[in-house]
Amino acid sequence: MLKEPTNCSWVCVGHQVAGWLVVLCVLAGAGCAAGHSRLDRLAWEQSRLIDLTHSFGADTIVWPTEQDFRLVLQQAGETPGGYYYASNRLEMAEHGGTHIDAPIHFAKGGQTLDQVPIERLVGAGVRIDVTAQCARDRDYLVTIQDFEQWEAAHGRIPTRAIVLVDTGFVRYWPSRQQYLGTELRGPEAVRALHFPGLHPEAAAWLVRERQVKAVGIDTASIDYGQSTKFETHVALLSQNVPVFENLGDLRDLPDRGFEVIALPMKIAGGTGGPLRVIAVLPSAH
- Within the chain, which residue ranges are assigned CATH 3.50.30.50? 70-282
- Residue 35's alpha-carbon distances to 3, 12, 23, 170, in angstroms, are 13, 13, 11, 42
Percent of the chain with pLDDT over 90: 82
The pLDDT assigned to 35 comes to: 56
What is the rounded CA–CA span in Å between residue 269 and residue 267?
6
Backbone phi and psi for residue 9, each to the nearest 5 degrees, phi listed first: -105, 130
What is the rounded CA–CA span in Å between residue 27 and residue 160? 30
Which amino acid appears at position 162 of this protein? Answer: I
The mean pLDDT value of the chain amounts to 89
**What does the pLDDT look like over 157-173, one tens digit per residue?**
999 999 999 999 999 99
Element at 278 (helix H, strand E):
strand 272-282
- Residue 36 has a CB neighbour count (10 Å cut-off) of 18
179 pLDDT more than 60: yes
**pLDDT at site 46:** 82
Report whether pLDDT(14) > 60: no
CATH number of the domain located at residue range(s) 70-282 in this protein: 3.50.30.50
Residue 2 has pLDDT above 60, yes or no: no
| Furthest C-alpha separation in the chain | 69
284 has a pLDDT exceeding 70: no
The upper half-sphere exposure of residue 247, i.e. CA atoms within 13 Å in the direction of its Cβ, equals 31
Q: What is the pLDDT of residues 27-55, one digit of tens each?
A: 333 444 455 566 565 566 789 999 999 99
pLDDT, position 19: 41
CB contact set of 229 (below 8 Å; sequence gap of 6+): none
* pLDDT level of residue 9 (50, 70, 90 thresholds): very low
First to last CA, the chain: 24
pLDDT of residue 45: 76
Q: For 168-204, give one letter per residue: b (16+ CB within 10 A) or e.
A: bbbebbeebeebbbbebeeeebbeebebbbbbbebbb
- Mean per-residue pLDDT for 62-81? 97
